[in-house]
Structure 1
């Protein structure tokens, strides 16, 4: 294993933990009356990539063999290594006898040849090369077995609780299993964490060693907005597909496991994407530090304080299309008048989101600046106005 390999995993763990705390999401789908399409595959998951919310699912937690969807994790780890500068895309890796002898789909590597990380990645994601997967695994971690340990560590970091990898390729192996939900989580992370490298998954063909091979993901040519991700097939796994598409500024992630044919998995994913894009919208509403309004401050050095959303990251919400069109936000001031001192980050109000007459979210609103107490005569005047002159009047903050 390369010396920096474990370091980048530790840094990734810290970043993921921060993202989990700092990326609140909300869904308002409990009253949804629009049923998802009938899908014949053994399991599927349809996820909104912005929020991570599941739109539709069937047997999403059923453990099944993933076939070459395994290579999404292989790509994720190599992307991580490139991003952390443990590897460079132009680094050369030597093809071992084991990689050359890989069974199943291949990019036709020659034993002893030196191949760039870029070429191996394209052979992995476009041609689904098992030889490319093993060459990358050995090149980064020293052996495929050590790389598989990294795969399982990363799966735990991403919260893929029902996934266990036994190899880098997806060939049948004892205990090698995942779920539609876990694969959706991984696919979302791939597109989110490494958007530049992720673009490789949209390539429709790739030529290596004089052999031109086409991407088996037919959505890339037949579905507007599709930009990945990976197909898979073994006799045990059936026909599998993890896919992603972007429309209406919304990315959907879909996973189909154990479909009956290559044509069916494409048709099933098309139906799921059509359902998601027709009936749902995901929106990013409030950024941290964005001033939404001002509140009156009594007895302060400033008359008002700017107020904004109190989360650590942007607030995101998944809604039905109808609810998205009727979404309203209201800043509800405090029950008691706001008096100085006020500190940056103090919760001073609530943001109420409604769609039609239905509440969909209740969020903290915080002061965006400090407000110190004003001079004594100003505090006294405000005290008199607040407590003596109008004692029975409601104290409206807005």
Structure 2
């Protein structure tokens, strides 16, 4: 008779690992009671996992801190509320230009003409002049570094014929990128009732920019750009601090307050922060630093389970071997509060004995990762080796022993 078994594996020394992402959903085979093999797709529960918030008393209407390497939300406040994004929505305009460059529709040396509308844009400016023809690469810097509203209109008209058509394309691309609470009415982020984003969407967009266009991402940490003999500095306050910041975009309107979408990297680990609704540049600078420091100080990345790691040895019936090793299909990287890292354990569950034949990779149970009282996720427990079916005589002895209740199978053995 098979019995359900639960074993707890302490993870005492989780290691740092260069893997970048959590494992994708695992395609495996589940070992059924009658010895057959059937296909099974197991979805992980940890993708976009939101940790319980640690105490963080900090101003800001909407806030999100994302660890993009593990898709983990470290902190959020009203993160899905659509709000005026101010110049942070220029990140979408930048994405559209970079996407056109990547597709080959334009080149860095392609030139766009400055219209009367573009040259007369108010607010932050690149200081373009009507009738000028400006290279795309210069316009990009005029948007990224100088936050030029005029440069935004120039690229919008150059790519789509008009700013209205460009906004339609922005909305189509936003849907493709999974920005669920964003809508664009213009290229610059100037106030408009039909123009909004959530801070979660801003964090997602920031990661798309970094991952989709790695060759252009370093432009976001450029601290100055000169056009028409007018030198302007990047408004991102984090770039001038020694905290690993390398992008992305500030914003400010009376509706949005002072806001920022930023990313920083330390020792190979990256975080993205986005927030709105602060009262001053000074407060924006202080909050930005606090959020980044909080993310790196209070959380740790670790690799508790490696690909193919053995977790438990269990009994086999009707097989050529009395036991089999079970373990993880894939390795994973997690982000956890530092306080919980030493509490992490794997809890395996499976039926024992497992009837042969068993093939390496067969899903025969599951394991949970648990930190204290919190379940992080559930994952497939797979066979790490083959066990062939025994001959007729050996199988008959096993079956008779099981029916008579005298079968003796090895107890599960935890692998440290």
Q: TM-score, normalised by structure 2?
A: 0.76
| SS of aligned partner of 2:394 | helix
The answer to whether the 8 Å contact 1:48/1:318 transfers is yes
Residue from 206, 211, 214 that aligns with 1:195: 214
C-alpha separation between the residues in 2 aligned to 1:309 and 1:75? 41
Residue from 124, 129, 150 that aligns with 2:169: 150
The answer to whether the 8 Å contact 1:280/1:320 transfers is yes
Q: Which residue of 1 aligns with 2:290?
A: 271
Alignment of 1:170-181 (within 5 A): 170-181=189-200
The answer to whether the 8 Å contact 1:240/1:257 transfers is yes
Q: Which residue of 1 aligns with 2:51?
A: 29
1:347 pairs with 2:363: yes
Residue from 231, 243, 250 that aligns with 2:250: 231
Alignment of 1:355-370 (within 5 A): 355=371, 359-367=375-383
The answer to whether the 8 Å contact 2:49/2:71 transfers is no
Choose 243-252 or 302-311, whichever is displaced more. 302-311
Alignment coverage as a number of residue pairs: 369
* Change over 3 Å in CA distance of 1:278–1:147 after alignment to 2: same
Deviation at 1:156, TM superposition (A): 2.5
| SS of aligned partner of 1:132 | helix
* Change over 3 Å in CA distance of 1:372–1:133 after alignment to 2: farther
| SS of aligned partner of 2:109 | coil
* Deviation per residue, 1:254-280 (Å, 9 max, x gap): 122121111111111112222222211
C-alpha separation between the residues in 1 aligned to 2:171 and 2:241? 34
C-alpha separation between the residues in 2 aligned to 1:153 and 1:113? 30
| SS of aligned partner of 2:351 | coil
* Change over 3 Å in CA distance of 1:308–1:391 after alignment to 2: closer
Q: Which residue of 1 aligns with 2:28?
A: none
1:125 pairs with 2:166: no
* Change over 3 Å in CA distance of 1:387–1:218 after alignment to 2: farther
C-alpha separation between the residues in 2 aligned to 1:199 and 1:23? 33
Residue from 306, 319, 341 that aligns with 1:324: 341
Q: TM-score, normalised by structure 1?
A: 0.79
* Change over 3 Å in CA distance of 1:257–1:110 after alignment to 2: same
Greater relative contact order structure (CA < 8 Å, 6+ sep): 2
The answer to whether the 8 Å contact 1:292/1:306 transfers is no
| SS of aligned partner of 1:291 | coil
Residue from 84, 88, 108 that aligns with 2:103: 84
Q: Which residue of 2 aligns with 1:396?
A: 412
**Rg bigger for which structure?**
2
Deviation at 1:302, TM superposition (A): 9.1
- After superposition, the CA RMSD in angstroms is 3.4
For structure 1, the residue ranges without an aligned partner over 5 or more in a row are 1-17
| SS of aligned partner of 1:318 | strand
C-alpha separation between the residues in 2 aligned to 1:98 and 1:359? 56
C-alpha separation between the residues in 1 aligned to 2:45 and 2:165? 32
The answer to whether the 8 Å contact 1:28/1:360 transfers is no
Q: Which residue of 2 aligns with 1:335?
A: 351
* Change over 3 Å in CA distance of 1:88–1:315 after alignment to 2: farther
Choose 124-133 or 315-324, whichever is displaced more. 315-324
* Deviation per residue, 1:151-206 (Å, 9 max, x gap): 11232333333221100101122321222232223223323333332221111111
1:291 pairs with 2:304: no
The answer to whether the 8 Å contact 1:63/1:179 transfers is yes
C-alpha separation between the residues in 2 aligned to 1:94 and 1:345? 59
Q: Where is the helix percentage greater, Structure 1 or Structure 2?
A: 1
Q: Which residue of 1 aligns with 2:278?
A: 259
Q: Which residue of 2 aligns with 1:208?
A: 227
Choose 55-64 or 144-153, whichever is displaced more. 55-64
